[in-house]
Amino acid sequence: MMGKLYQEIDATLAAFIAKQHLFFVASAPIGGEGHVNLSPKGFDAFAILDPMTVAYLDLTGSGVETIAHLQENGRIVIMFCAFEGPPKILRLYGRGEVVTPHDPPFTELRAHFPPYLGVRAVIRVRLERITDSCGFGVPVMHYESERTQLHDWAAHKGEEALLAYREANNSNSIDGLPGLASLTSIPADR
């Protein structure tokens, strides 16, 4: 199967995206010495805003690589793989921006997602390239359920402890790029 280049996210691609329980986000710093980052994302945390713009929730976690890379250079790729049904890999290349609760578009963007605790930001991506490929090498796996540990952890921590956690663990990337250093007052319940 030959890969295809798309002009936008059409109804068929939107339906494919909606069926996936998992997506991957990749980013990298400008310098060749920095680390490439690849993160899996689950939950109902992805939204198509228009045919050339998507967004996802950035939940509090152990690292802040994607945020740091986007603040430095904006480059990002999002990948979906069909683990059930016909094989397919879909890649969305674009320029991402970090939208925090302090930014005017946050409330409107946040409304596209469930009310999860521990949201640090919404990542909005303006797409530049949309491609698919066969996915013949991706195994068939069956979805069982979402894990609850991240949501349970955020609820147990509470707002003040989440803020302290972000300040201690999310201020800089592993390569020393600024992460949430200036964003540590983000409310935990957003």
Query: What does the DSSP 8-state code read for residue 178?
Result: B
Least confident window among 105-109, 132-136, 179-183: 179-183
What's the confidence (pLDDT) of residue 1?
59
Query: Is 88:82 a contact under the CB 8 Å cutoff?
Result: yes
Has residue 185 got a pLDDT over 50? no
For strand 46-50 and strand 53-59, is the pairing parallel, antiparallel, or unpaired? antiparallel
Encoded tokens for 32: 């060749």
**Mapping DSSP to helix (H, G, I), strand (E, B) and coil, where does residue 105 land?**
coil
**Mapping DSSP to helix (H, G, I), strand (E, B) and coil, where does residue 7 land?**
coil
Has residue 154 got a pLDDT over 80? yes
Q: Is 4-169 CATH 2.30.110.10?
A: yes
* Mean predicted lDDT score pLDDT of the chain: 93
- Domain extents for the chain? 4-169
Amino acid letter, residue 89: I
pLDDT band at 97 (very low <50, low <70, confident <90, very high): very high
